[in-house]
Structure 1
């Protein structure tokens, strides 16, 4: 399978075909990406069986949810989905270890999947924020993490409130674009 089949324009064709239930297109995407995705998952799990299970789970989910997903770039979406699924699997394994070791109280033994999803997305957003220009990043962190008002941020950084607002707007725009790019537009409400 040539790489040229999976350029940006072809990405759109593959996504459209999968949305329409084209099993051959789905098989082509699977063939093209599964080894790369296995490598990503294995890098984090160090367990081939677990990595294979995770990649399988991601492809099953892609097929089952093909009509509701907003995917712009297949490679970014699939890589992020595998990292997300790997994170969840490792969290489950870790929690089972803790339960087995009787570290957690009985009422905390059910894994709260929404909390894990939120934590993953928070970590993903934090990664995006880290790459923002320094002033923009600082303003955003003071607003979101330190819960400071625009006026307090303006005073602390010796800038106008308009500049504070502009930096926060810029940060939110970059975060939204990045989340949409990897197919997480449905989760934007968790942050904004």
Structure 2
């Protein structure tokens, strides 16, 4: 059969004509896609997509010559694929920039919060301040802090409780509960 006869049968839903077109032109379309993409798997997928579209839209297609038509479908599929890849890379780059900015902002906020807490803790009585700073700011276990300061673990725990109470009381305004929560989360969850 010639191409015109195959197209006519294809429009009527003849699967054998579709198979014949597929067998005749798959290699040629793959060559076009591979030449543009230089990727075997992607070229194969694009050719499959072209044939799938051909079958799905067979009744509405107006094909004068099948070879240029399929070649054009393949090129456009490659261009769409390239555009999607480019868009995806742009989005990845944008997300990367946003993530870096968010991380920098979090770091800055943590540094500011740490400075506020350090300044508040410096106003505490000496033992209370030392227990708080060793335990919360230097991440030293409370038992080790007690041992280093030659106090009992219960006394160290009392100093820590007092320090947290005083620091919380120093937070003023409607954001105090939120800031204290952030502080506690930051200090206790590492």
Length-normalised TM-score, structure 2: 0.49
Higher gyration radius (CA): 2
Greater relative contact order, per chain length (Cα 8 Å cut-off, separation 6+)? 1
Length-normalised TM-score, structure 1: 0.49
